[in-house]
Structure 1
Amino acid sequence: MMRPEPVLKPEEPVAEAKPVQEAPINSIKYKITGDEVNITGCDKKVSGALTIPEIIEGKSVTSIGKEAFQYCRNLTSITIPDGVTSIGQGAFELCIGLTSITIPDSVTSIGEGAFWGCSNLTSITIPDSVTDIGDSAFWGCSNLTSITIPDSVTSIRNSAFGGCYRLTSVTIGNGVTNIANYAFRNCRSLTSITIPDSVTDIGDSAFYDCTNLTSITIPDSVTSIGGYAFKFCLYLTSVTIPNSVTRIGNGAFYSCTRLTSITIGNGVTSIGNYALANCTSLTTVTFLGDAPKAGKEVFKGATPTIYRKTEAKGWGDTWGKRTVKLICEKP
């Protein structure tokens, strides 16, 4: 399930530092099952720094339950104890006063929307133990500036870091195979990103509206680029699609208005509707293989010249309503 986008402003200020105030332990609600404790809730009026105890009533705390701290707007920091293995859905949703959180190495899963809308969270360390980060887990964390996704994570789920307006640095671990739909949508401060060669799929709108993205490295492990994956990446100037890619989705590079050239590998068999539409600076499209199937209005609003190899098959004098020439004819 994808959550609605929070109403956030790109210029939302970081909360001013205040004296640390310890939150009382008796503000925590919990449930004991066998020898394990699940944190289920918290007094919504609690404020300051909260350290969740490792042991409650002689039992180990092993999980933070669904929506346990949801709307605890006055909490500023939270320390999760060793032994906790899961952080549930919406566990810290809209904890807008939260600036830092410590996640122990025991945690293996971060649930859907776990930190959704934590707009003053400035840093978080995802430990190597985490294998799963849920949909929208950090959506709207608009003051988060950097994130490292460990090698243990295999998928960056839908909208996981969408709306992180101030995110400038992303390191994607070598275990990630899929960057899902909307994963980094609206990350408008992101200027470059390197996708590791473990990734095979870039989802729909994965980098949509990353308006300051100037460069991206797509490895030759990627086979599919989803619809609108790079729409409104206004500062991209050149792109190379590796030979491994077979499909470029609808509107994949729509309105990349500073894109001047793109090289498309020999594995591409289809290019979707409006894939390069409104790329108003595009002058050169180089194909390294046979002519792919062209979608509707691939180059609407753009007037590039297409260049192909001499031995490539299926080409005519035009493709996508644009002139085709041989690579040897490039100026």
Structure 2
Amino acid sequence: MKTFRAYFLCISLLFCCSLCMLTSCGGDGKTKSVNFPNSLANMVTMTDNGSKLYLKITSDATCEVVPNPEGAYSGEITIPSEVNCSGTPYTVSSIGDRAFYGCADLSAVSIPATVQWIGQKAFGECGKLSRVVIPDGVREICFRTFYMCTELESVSLPPSVQEIGKEAFMGCKKLVNLPVPENLRIVGISAFQDCASINAMEFPEEMTDLGDDALHGCTSLVFVTLPKNMLKLGKWAFAGCKNLLVADIPEGVVAVGDCAFRDCSNLKEVKLPSSMRTVGRMAFRDCPSLKSISVAAAEPPILQDNSFVNSEKVPLFVPKSKAAIYRSSTHWKSFASIRENLN
């Protein structure tokens, strides 16, 4: 990894002309003058063998990494935990919005434990980035933080992460497995959409929200464990997960969103809990391998348009003494085989 130890450049907040004079302060005690445009006000830049990292002072004691105003970052970058400018130490506490966005030649980045916030699109479209370790203390992976990082294979998320935002990992087609933090509560819309290499996902029991399209197009997904505290499964949440084998909806979930499991071509079994009230439009459409549907609800849930197909071929298993109710239900009577073998 490259280190940024050669010298530090401090930019004044006050400017009198179109260019400002910067003082470089380094570990070797040398100083030199550098001219930068006024647009770089309130920034600190560090260089090492010609490479630069730009930081913006955010308080009397902190600073954050910002985009390179001279072009894209590249190669391997180590973000320091602290910088010193004219004798004043600043803790690097955040990575700003779009800090590394579109840095196509950024191959590796080391994030210090002092970082508590990573902004929107911070690493989006970094096409060569393969591995990232997020430090403990970061609570949210924001909108498009790793969007379309097509070579990203591994991300380590700390227990502090409670939310994975909209499209956070969308299009990370080489991301294989992502251990989910135990304190995760919210997975946003399209958070993992088109992550075609993920083969398993186990969400913590305390998670409450799984957004629309959350794992849409995760074509290698075989196994998923859903949380028990979630009320609704989002629209298109697992659509196109062609290798998913079982849809086991946990107790407590009351609704399955429209097209939630549409085009899961290898799905063989569906299990709906006693809490289930509504199955959305085309929720299980285009699931030609379906062999069994089990419903634990004593009261037949409402099926919206084309929730299931091939009802004349797939057996339906219902609670004891409830077969007659299901056979007379407007929503379930099309099933040719309704059997009582659930306790």
Q: How much is the aligned-residue C-alpha RMSD, in angstroms? A: 2.5
Q: Partners of 1:184 and 1:275 in 2: how far apart?
A: 19
SS of structure 2 residue aligned to 1:147 = coil
Could you tell me the TM-score, scaled by structure 1's length? 0.80
SS of structure 1 residue aligned to 2:55 = strand
| Deviation per residue, 1:41-64 (Å, 9 max, x gap) | 135443221111111231111111
Cα–Cα, structure 1 residues 282 and 210, in superposed 2: closer, same or farther, change >3 Å?
farther
Q: Partners of 1:243 and 1:130 in 2: how far apart?
A: 31
SS of structure 2 residue aligned to 1:240 = strand
| Deviation per residue, 1:137-190 (Å, 9 max, x gap) | 000010000012212111111111111001112221222112110000100001
Q: Partners of 2:165 and 2:331 in 1: how far apart?
A: 41
1:315 aligns with 2:328: yes
Q: Contact 1:143–1:166 at 8 Å: present in 2 too?
A: yes
Q: Contact 2:115–2:135 at 8 Å: present in 1 too?
A: yes
**Structure 1 unaligned blocks of 5 or more:** 1-20, 291-307
| Corresponding residue number in structure 2 for 1:52 | 79
| Corresponding residue number in structure 2 for 1:32 | 57
Cα–Cα, structure 1 residues 323 and 127, in superposed 2: closer, same or farther, change >3 Å?
closer
1:41 aligned partner, one-letter code = P
Q: Partners of 1:177 and 1:259 in 2: how far apart?
A: 28
Cα–Cα, structure 1 residues 287 and 79, in superposed 2: closer, same or farther, change >3 Å?
same
Q: Contact 1:130–1:152 at 8 Å: present in 2 too?
A: yes
| Corresponding residue number in structure 1 for 2:263 | 232
Q: Contact 1:102–1:124 at 8 Å: present in 2 too?
A: yes
SS of structure 1 residue aligned to 2:178 = strand
Cα–Cα, structure 1 residues 48 and 280, in superposed 2: closer, same or farther, change >3 Å?
farther
Deviation, structure 1 residue 109: 1.5
Cα–Cα, structure 1 residues 281 and 328, in superposed 2: closer, same or farther, change >3 Å?
closer
Q: Contact 2:315–2:338 at 8 Å: present in 1 too?
A: no
Q: After superposing the two structures, state which structure 1 stretch, 117-126 or 162-171, moved more.
A: 162-171
| Corresponding residue number in structure 1 for 2:305 | 273
Q: Partners of 1:37 and 1:132 in 2: how far apart?
A: 24
Cα–Cα, structure 1 residues 94 and 269, in superposed 2: closer, same or farther, change >3 Å?
same
SS of structure 1 residue aligned to 2:66 = strand
**Structure 2 unaligned blocks of 5 or more:** 5-45
| Deviation per residue, 1:244-298 (Å, 9 max, x gap) | 1111111100100110221223255311111113x488422234499xxxxxxxx
Q: Contact 1:23–1:49 at 8 Å: present in 2 too?
A: no
Total equivalences in the alignment: 289
Which of 199, 207, 214 lines up with 1:176 in the alignment? 207
Q: Contact 2:311–2:335 at 8 Å: present in 1 too?
A: no
| Corresponding residue number in structure 1 for 2:41 | none
2:80 aligned partner, one-letter code = P
Q: Percent identity?
A: 29
Q: Partners of 1:281 and 1:237 in 2: how far apart?
A: 16
Q: Contact 1:195–1:219 at 8 Å: present in 2 too?
A: yes
SS of structure 1 residue aligned to 2:285 = coil
Q: Partners of 2:340 and 2:93 in 1: how far apart?
A: 65
Q: Contact 1:248–1:268 at 8 Å: present in 2 too?
A: no
| Corresponding residue number in structure 1 for 2:122 | 91
Cα–Cα, structure 1 residues 106 and 226, in superposed 2: closer, same or farther, change >3 Å?
same
Q: Contact 2:294–2:316 at 8 Å: present in 1 too?
A: yes
Deviation, structure 1 residue 323: 5.9
2:198 aligned partner, one-letter code = L
Rg: which structure is higher?
Answer: 2
SS of structure 2 residue aligned to 1:77 = strand
SS of structure 1 residue aligned to 2:262 = coil
1:165 aligned partner, one-letter code = A
Cα–Cα, structure 1 residues 289 and 319, in superposed 2: closer, same or farther, change >3 Å?
farther
Q: Contact 1:23–1:48 at 8 Å: present in 2 too?
A: no
Could you tell me the TM-score, scaled by structure 2's length? 0.78
1:315 aligned partner, one-letter code = S
